[in-house]
């Protein structure tokens, strides 16, 4: 398999046991009507992209469970025979978070959404690498999970953090002299569908600026 050398331009990660506080959505999304419609995944993605200084360009978004919170709201409404929220119905698709990013930042470039179960971050990185290789442009690669739903503790065996996210901005590096493979130094308790991006963020924080990604 071919390996692609990618330069890490910026990176950030965030997670919390229950709910991430202070996502700065009032600053990032000053329009109150849009802000009120945001899902938790969208808020986290917007926060991460802001921290990475990325507002315009190609985006690859990965998530295993995506908008499970909105899907639960719809399911509960059906069970209770009550009206389904149009906002929940609109937000219950996998590309809600990157779509809000595109809308708020007026980004007209390509967006790709990846869902590969617990390998979502890994496959998002592979897709971002391919995007950077083909386009020669910088790519935002981000993965988020928001699992704070009713009775989640009764079935949760995969994470200590119900909300988590990580993001990196990558670009093709034609000089692979200093590139190294992604290591296994992630953060304990973070769900696997975000963990591969967390590993890249950790490498960047340790001063590693170029990585290999196998396509």
Task: Indicate if the pLDDT at residue 64 is higher than 80.
Answer: yes
In tens, the pLDDT along 124-165 reads: 999 999 999 999 999 999 999 999 998 898 888 889 999 999
User: What angle do the packed helices 40-51 and 96-105 form, to 10 degrees?
Assistant: 50
Separation between Cα atoms, residue 66 and residue 214, nearest integer Å: 25
Q: List the strands of the sheet with 139-146, edge to edge.
A: 111-114, 58-62, 139-146, 163-172, 3-16, 210-214, 180-181
Residue 72 — pLDDT band, cuts 50, 70, 90? confident
Please compute the mean of the pLDDT values over residues 70-84 and round it to a whole number: 82
In the chain, the percentage of residues whose pLDDT exceeds 70 is 100
Quote the number of domains for the chain: 1
DSSP secondary-structure letter at 72? Answer: H
Give the domain range for residue 153: 3-214
Separation between Cα atoms, residue 201 and residue 31, nearest integer Å: 30
Residue 1 — pLDDT band, cuts 50, 70, 90? confident
Return the pLDDT at 87: 80
Q: Which of 139, 196, 103 is nearest to 10 (CA)?
A: 139
Phi, psi at residue 77, to the nearest 5°? -65, -40
The domain spanning residue 193 has which CATH number?
3.40.47.10
Q: Which of 199, 197, 191 is nearest to 68 (CA)?
A: 191
Residue 77 — pLDDT band, cuts 50, 70, 90? confident
- The rounded mean pLDDT for the chain is 94
Separation between Cα atoms, residue 120 and residue 143, nearest integer Å: 8
Return the pLDDT at 144: 98
In the chain, the percentage of residues whose pLDDT exceeds 90 is 80
């Amino acid at each position: 398999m071919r390996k692609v050398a990618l330069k890490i331009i910026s990176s950030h990660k965030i997670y919390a046991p229950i709910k991430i506080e202070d996502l700065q959505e009032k600053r990032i999304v000053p329009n109150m009507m849009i802000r009120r419609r945001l899902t938790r995944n969208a808020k986290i993605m917007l926060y991460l992209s802001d921290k990475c200084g990325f507002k315009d360009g190609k985006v690859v978004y990965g998530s295993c469970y995506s908008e499970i919170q909105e899907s639960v709201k719809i399911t509960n409404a059906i069970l209770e025979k009550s009206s389904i929220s149009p906002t929940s119905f609109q937000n219950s698709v996998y590309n809600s978070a990157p779509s809000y990013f595109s809308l708020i930042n007026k980004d007209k470039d390509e967006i790709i959404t990846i869902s590969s179960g617990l390998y979502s971050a890994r496959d998002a990185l592979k897709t971002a690498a391919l995007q950077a290789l083909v386009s020669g442009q910088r790519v935002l690669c981000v993965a988020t999970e928001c699992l704070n739903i009713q009775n989640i503790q009764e079935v949760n065996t995969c994470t200590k953090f119900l909300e988590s996210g990580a993001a990196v901005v990558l670009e093709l590096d034609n000089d692979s002299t200093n590139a190294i493979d992604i290591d296994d130094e992630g953060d304990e308790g973070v769900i696997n569908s975000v963990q591969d991006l967390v590993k890249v963020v950790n490498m960047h924080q340790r001063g590693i600026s170029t990585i290999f990604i196998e396509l």
